[in-house]
Amino acid sequence: GNNFSLGNYSTIGQSCTLGNNVKIGNNVCLSNAIIGDNVTISDGAKIGQPGFGFAYDKSEIVKIFHIGRVIIQNGVKIGANCSIDRGSFNDTTIGENTYIDNHVHIAHNVSIGNHCIIAGQCGFAGSAEIGNFVQVGGQTGIAGHIKIDDGVKIAAKSGVIRNISSNQTVMGYPAISINKYLKNYKKIMIDT
Catalytically annotated residues: 108
Q: How far apart are CA 23 and CA 17, in angstroms?
A: 13
Q: How many whole angstroms from its chain centre is CA 72?
A: 11
Stretch (H or E) spanning 180 = helix 178-191
Helix, coil or strand: residue 142: strand
Rounded (10°) CA dihedral 32, 65, 127, 113 = 10
CA dist 42 to 36, 112, 186, Å? 15, 19, 41
